[in-house]
A and B are shown apart, each in its own frame.
Chain A
Amino acid sequence: MADINIRKVAKAYGKTQVVHGIDLDILDREFIVILGPSGCGKSTLLRMIAGLEAISSGEIAIDGKVVNDIEPRARGCAMVFQNYALYPHMTVAQNIGYALKVAGISRAERDQRIATVAATLDISDYLDRKPGQLSGGQRQRVAMGRAMIREPKVFLFDEPLSNLDAKLRVQMRLEIRRLHQRLNATSVFVTHDQVEAMTLADRLVVMNAGHVEQVGSAEELYERPASKYVGGFIGSPHMNFLKGQIADDGCSVVLEAGPTLPINPRIGRAAPGAAVDIGIRPEHARRTGEGANLTVRYDFLEELGNGRLFHGRVGDSDFIVQSADKTPPAFGEEIGLRIDPFHIHLFDGETGVRLQEIASVAPARTRALEPA
């Protein structure tokens, strides 16, 4: 059992406030990913949980016990660092077994547990090597082993995959997820990579400038981003944004670029004349000849192999359309698009907060309207 309760936790360095009163409840055995751009305070939050950074105000409780004034070693957390932080003068076996040695566990038991962990991570052949003789992926495994051997209640990962090449990253991602399932520990994983975040997480925490923007499953964040920021951060290619105003009838948006788009009539709080940003995901903009309600001035094509991105402009804004369409338009040609009202995300023009539907859209209806 190890849930983590974070209450109004803030961090300031002198007068610079980097984390602004965060509230977050992490459930036992949950895999939480904290996602955000560099400098958003996500690593600071993780380091406060670990005890490597003092908490300026608020409190953090692990397993129901407030840990604000408890030394890192007594918190029951293990951490995997971004640069692995392996002890260069120790062998792999010594690195993995160091925590046990400090804890005063007998040599025989130590060796046995090192062997078990090494077998799990497939590094048994390297136990006598020094970290300097290992590849990036192997070092990563050793760092994981060092964290695992203590059988901690909480695993903390500080961007552990960012130093690996793309292929290895995908592989390690799956292994981390598999290990999490097996080890029955709570995991907190910090990253700036949204694909990594979405594949690993039970729940995601999106952070921006020291605040939590939204907490939810990958699906929730994708389907119903709570703010323009989350909408733009989650999903690849990123969401297109256009500026506009709610029309007098309250059921459509007049874009700055000219056209008027119908919106989901269930959206409340949308006062006529209010300035809004609308968000449309590239995969939800359908190329069509007839019945187009938006046109894009085509610039260039990005081939992805399993699909194509048509880059263009609507008025002064960039706009991306994802499509399997094989025929590229001519440069400067107007592409007709059909945008479904249920796929339009509306955000307040000033605050960027999502304008909520009065009731959530019935899933069956959404699916029926989805492009074939």
Chain B
Amino acid sequence: MRRAYFKNNWIAALMVAPQLLIIFVFFYWPTSQAIYWAFTLEQPWGGGNEWVGFENFRQLLTDSQYWDSVRVSVIYAIATTALAMGMALILALFADRQLTGYKFYRVGLIWPYAVAAPAVGLSFRFIFNPSAGLFSYINHLFPGLWDPIMNGSHALFMVIVAGAWKQIAYSFIFFLAALQSIPRSLTEACAMDGSGVLRRMWDLQLPLMAPTFFFLLVINITDSFTDSFGIVDTLTVGGPARATNLMVYKIYEDGFRGLDYSGAAAQSIILMLLVIALTFFQFRFVERRIHYS
């Protein structure tokens, strides 16, 4: 790697200052505030707080509703990540085969990424509405088969599908780029060695895509823990009976609806630690098995 050297250190400092300032103001400062709040009891309308130590955390960790939220979040994270990456991989493998018109559907597949989460939620609310559209016909034939308003697992399934749909595009771009960076001669050598299309995918393309796969795994898991608010808020508002009350949505609910700033701050800290721990785990145990060429 090429490095630039500065004769004067203060010039170097000056040039990184804007970036550091932005990171500090928008990341470290709010985080430190959240940590501070997590250890205090904040008054709902402001005007003073009281140091309570780990009381906020103790309350949360003994609350069965909180553990439900954690459980639902983990299911949501695993399911959306698996669904989004699986679909993205299949679509990318097809796009890479450059069948007729692939340029058009390549663009088509990237579009969903540009749609904001609330818009995704809103459209899926229409699509999955049990009393209108496609699902109303199904419900007419089999009454009660699809009811996300009353049935918690239906609601969670709906949120997972919407969340995955939004994340497919992002993974698709990376998978396609990874596939297209595999040298053509490798694929040809593999064909000469006698392996067909499916065998080539398994023996050649997938192993060579492993670094991309790992990157997307980390990003998708992180995203599904922290970036699901818009979809939940528009689709289910956490219901029914908190069946889709994901951790990130519960933070918002407790903080801004319940005005429990301190509890919400403690939840943010737990969520942050959880994501850090998961990422660390992935780097520690998954990355070691990856071959970087």
Give the complex CA separation of A78 and B194 in angstroms. 10
Contact assessment for A73 and B186 in the assembled complex, using a CB-CB cutoff below 8 Å: no
In this complex, the member of B194, B203, B208 whose beta carbon has the largest number of chain A beta carbons within 10 angstroms is B194
B180-192 near A? 1/0 per residue, CB < 8 Å:
0001011011111
Known pairs A50-B192, A73-B194, A73-B195; A85 contacts B183 (CB<8 A): yes
Contact residues in B for A102 (Cβ distance below 8 Å): 193-195, 199, 203
B192-207 near A? 1/0 per residue, CB < 8 Å:
1111100100011001
Give the complex CA separation of A83 and B188 in angstroms. 12
Contact residues in B for A130 (Cβ distance below 8 Å): 291
The reply on B293 being an interface residue by CB < 8 A is yes
The reply on A329 being an interface residue by CB < 8 A is no
Closest residue of A by beta carbon distance from B188: A52
Partner of A89 from the list B188, B191, B196, B207 (CB cut-off 8 Å) is B207
Closest residue of A by beta carbon distance from B185: A85
Contact residues in A for B188 (Cβ distance below 8 Å): 52, 72, 79, 81, 85
The reply on A287 being an interface residue by CB < 8 A is no
Give the complex CA separation of A220 and B203 in angstroms. 47
The minimal Cβ–Cβ distance linking B288 to chain A, given in whole angstroms, is 15
Restricting to B204-224, which residues have a CB under 8 Å from any CB of A?
A: 204, 207-208, 210
In this complex, the member of B189, B190, B196, B291 whose beta carbon has the largest number of chain A beta carbons within 10 angstroms is B189
Give the complex CA separation of A52 and B208 in angstroms. 22
Contact residues in B for A71 (Cβ distance below 8 Å): 191
Contact assessment for A98 and B193 in the assembled complex, using a CB-CB cutoff below 8 Å: yes
Contact assessment for B293 and A88 in the assembled complex, using a CB-CB cutoff below 8 Å: yes
Contact assessment for A88 and B291 in the assembled complex, using a CB-CB cutoff below 8 Å: yes
Contact assessment for B183 and A83 in the assembled complex, using a CB-CB cutoff below 8 Å: yes
Contact residues in A for B204 (Cβ distance below 8 Å): 87
Contact residues in B for A83 (Cβ distance below 8 Å): 183, 185
Known pairs A83-B183, A88-B208, A89-B208; A99 contacts B193 (CB<8 A): yes
Contact assessment for B190 and A52 in the assembled complex, using a CB-CB cutoff below 8 Å: no
The reply on A246 being an interface residue by CB < 8 A is no
The minimal Cβ–Cβ distance linking A86 to chain B, given in whole angstroms, is 8
Give the complex CA separation of A82 and B185 in angstroms. 9
Q: Is the interface of A mostly helix, strand, loop or mixed?
A: loop
Contact assessment for B193 and A146 in the assembled complex, using a CB-CB cutoff below 8 Å: yes
Known pairs A89-B207, A102-B199; A79 contacts B192 (CB<8 A): yes
Contact residues in A for B210 (Cβ distance below 8 Å): 89
Partner of B293 from the list A73, A82, A132 (CB cut-off 8 Å) is A132
Contact residues in A for B189 (Cβ distance below 8 Å): 79, 81, 85-87, 146
Contact assessment for B193 and A85 in the assembled complex, using a CB-CB cutoff below 8 Å: no
Contact assessment for A99 and B186 in the assembled complex, using a CB-CB cutoff below 8 Å: no
The reply on A190 being an interface residue by CB < 8 A is no
Contact assessment for B203 and A98 in the assembled complex, using a CB-CB cutoff below 8 Å: yes
Give the complex CA separation of A50 and B199 in angstroms. 19
Closest residue of A by beta carbon distance from B204: A87
Contact residues in B for A234 (Cβ distance below 8 Å): none
Give the complex CA separation of A315 and B196 in angstroms. 62
Closest residue of A by beta carbon distance from B206: A89
The minimal Cβ–Cβ distance linking A233 to chain B, given in whole angstroms, is 27
Restricting to A83-111, which residues have a CB under 8 Å from any CB of B?
A: 83, 85-89, 98-99, 102-103
The reply on A200 being an interface residue by CB < 8 A is no
Closest residue of B by beta carbon distance from A158: B185
Known pairs A73-B191, A102-B193; A85 contacts B291 (CB<8 A): no
Contact assessment for A87 and B194 in the assembled complex, using a CB-CB cutoff below 8 Å: no
The minimal Cβ–Cβ distance linking A109 to chain B, given in whole angstroms, is 16
The reply on A45 being an interface residue by CB < 8 A is no
Give the complex CA separation of A195 and B203 in angstroms. 39
Restricting to A41-92, which residues have a CB under 8 Å from any CB of B?
A: 50, 52, 71-73, 77-79, 81-83, 85-89
Closest residue of B by beta carbon distance from A132: B293
Contact assessment for B207 and A81 in the assembled complex, using a CB-CB cutoff below 8 Å: no
Partner of B192 from the list A77, A82, A89 (CB cut-off 8 Å) is A77
Give the complex CA separation of A130 and B292 in angstroms. 11
Known pairs A85-B186, A88-B208, A98-B203; A72 contacts B192 (CB<8 A): yes
The minimal Cβ–Cβ distance linking B48 to chain A, given in whole angstroms, is 61
The minimal Cβ–Cβ distance linking A63 to chain B, given in whole angstroms, is 17
Restricting to A117-166, which residues have a CB under 8 Å from any CB of B?
A: 130, 132, 146, 150
In this complex, the member of A79, A86, A150 whose beta carbon has the largest number of chain B beta carbons within 10 angstroms is A79
Give the complex CA separation of A98 and B195 in angstroms. 9
Give the complex CA separation of A132 and B196 in angstroms. 25
In this complex, the member of B183, B203, B207 whose beta carbon has the largest number of chain A beta carbons within 10 angstroms is B203
The minimal Cβ–Cβ distance linking B222 to chain A, given in whole angstroms, is 27
Give the complex CA separation of A86 and B189 in angstroms. 8
Closest residue of B by beta carbon distance from A147: B192
Contact residues in A for B203 (Cβ distance below 8 Å): 87, 98, 102
Contact residues in B for A72 (Cβ distance below 8 Å): 188, 191-192
Contact residues in B for A146 (Cβ distance below 8 Å): 189, 193
Q: Which residues of B contact A (CB under 8 A)?
A: 183, 185-186, 188-196, 199, 203-204, 207-208, 210, 291, 293
A-B residue pairs in contact (CB < 8 Å), sample of 7: A72-B191, A72-B192, A87-B189, A87-B204, A88-B208, A98-B203, A146-B193
Q: Which residues of A contact B (CB under 8 A)?
A: 50, 52, 71-73, 77-79, 81-83, 85-89, 98-99, 102-103, 130, 132, 146, 150
Kindly list 16 other residue pairs between chains A and B, CB separation below 8 angstroms, not including A71-B191, A88-B208.
A52-B192, A72-B192, A73-B195, A83-B183, A85-B183, A85-B185, A85-B186, A86-B189, A87-B186, A87-B189, A88-B291, A89-B291, A89-B293, A98-B203, A130-B291, A132-B293
Sorted nearest first, the 5 A-B pairs with minimum C-beta distance are A88-B293, A85-B185, A85-B189, A73-B194, A99-B193
